């Protein structure tokens, strides 16, 4: 089987799978399995008919109307797949949108949590100002952290997985930027204790910020590493022309 025939078989599969609203992993499974099927059918028909063009036509006939297959595939997607789709994002989009979505989701729940705890317990008038600030910061800190990870992921993805090649300078800047961001993050958490607690800041904050920076770089690296083959896969299948010529 030559490359042109394989591409035509992929187009046959993509006509049915692309319109399906489902998570990336589920659609990838559909594509691979349906492709294996149509390749098997084509080989059978080619062996029987001895003509590639006729075998391709018979394969398409046996496969059925792509719109009908799409409809059946859509019925097989469980309702819970929406959650996977929300966190995975749209096909081909940058990895930074995953932590941004997580951060937005976390922020929304944190806001609900803070409001519920403070107002239902009538604590607004009871807590001192400094405690309120620390309380609020503790709740908001995960969202701020994930927003930072989002931008770090984008820089690392571009630095390591750019088609032009690895940019060590960009990766080094990402790591340095992460450390600076975490220092500001930790400083922001303890600013209400300045200048009285400034000695503690030097001893405790720097290693803590370093640890958070290392975690952020590791998390961003893994996200970028996870997303790079995913984007290449979507680009490969997304390029296939699925419109039926009139």
Partner 1 sequence: METIQGDKLRGHLEEMVLSTLERGEAHGLEILHRLEEAGCGLLRLKEGSLYPALYRLEAAGAVKAAWESEPHGRRGARRRIYQLTPKGQRRLDAGRVEWRQFVRVLGGILGAPA
The site for partner 1 (CB under 8 A) is made up of 1, 6, 16, 29-30, 32-37, 39-41, 43, 62-66, 68-69, 72-73, 75-76, 78
Which one, 68 or 162, has the nearer CB to partner 1?
A: 68
Secondary structure (H, E, C), the chain: CCHHHHHHHHHHHHHHHCCCCCCHHHHHHHHHHHHHHHHHHHHHHHHHHCCHHHHHHHHHHHHCCHHHHHHHHHHCCCCCHHHHHHHHCCCCCCCCHHHHHHHHHHHHHHHHHHHHHHHHCCCCCCCCHHHHHHHHHHHHHHHHHHHHHHHHHHHHHHHHHCCCCCCHHHHHHHHHHHHHHHHHHHHHHHHHHCCCCHHHHHHHHHHHHHHHHHHHHHHHHHHHHHHHHHHHHHHHHHCCCCCCCC
CB of 25 to partner 1, least distance (A): 13
Minimum CB–partner distance for residue 242 and partner 1 (Å): 14
Q: Which is nearer to partner 1, 33 or 51 (CB)?
A: 33
Question: Cβ closer to partner 1: 85 or 101?
Answer: 85
Q: How far is the CB of 226 from partner 1 (least distance, A)?
A: 19
Query: For partner 1, which is the closer residue by CB, 45 or 154?
Result: 45
Residue 241 CB, nearest approach to partner 1 (Å) = 19
For partner 1, the closer CB: 31 or 158:
31
- Looking at the Cβ atoms of 46 and 157, the one nearer to partner 1 is 46
83: buried, middle or exposed (CB in 10 Å: 19+, 13-18, 0-12)? exposed
Residue 222 CB, shortest distance to partner 1, in Å, is 24
Question: In whole angstroms, how close is the CB of 52 to partner 1 at the nearest point?
Answer: 14
50: phi then psi, degrees, rounded to nearest 5: 70, 15
């Amino acid at each position: 089987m030559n490359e042109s025939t394989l591409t035509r078989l992929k187009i046959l599969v993509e006509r049915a799978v692309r319109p399906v609203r489902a998570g990336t992993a589920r659609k990838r499974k559909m594509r691979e399995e349906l492709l294996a099927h149509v390749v098997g059918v084509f080989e059978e028909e080619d062996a029987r008919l001895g003509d590639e063009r006729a075998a391709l036509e018979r394969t398409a006939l046996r496969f059925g109307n792509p719109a009908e297959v799409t409809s059946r595939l859509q019925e097989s997607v469980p309702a819970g797949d929406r959650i996977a789709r929300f966190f995975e994002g749209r096909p081909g989009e940058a990895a930074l949108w995953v932590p941004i979505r997580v951060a937005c989701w976390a922020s929304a729940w944190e806001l609900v949590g803070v409001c519920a705890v403070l107002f239902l317990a009538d604590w607004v008038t009871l807590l001192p100002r400094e405690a309120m600030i620390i309380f609020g910061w503790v709740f908001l800190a995960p969202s701020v952290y994930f927003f930072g990870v989002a931008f770090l992921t984008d820089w690392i993805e571009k630095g390591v997985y750019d088609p032009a090649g690895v940019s060590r300078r960009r990766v080094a800047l990402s790591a340095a930027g992460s450390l600076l961001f975490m220092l500001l993050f930790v400083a922001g958490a303890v600013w209400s204790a300045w200048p009285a607690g400034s000695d503690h800041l030097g001893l405790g904050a720097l290693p803590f910020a370093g640890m958070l920076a290392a975690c952020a770089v590791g998390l961003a690296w893994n996200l970028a590493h996870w997303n790079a083959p995913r984007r290449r896969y979507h680009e490969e299948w997304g390029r296939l022309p699925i419109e039926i010529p009139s």
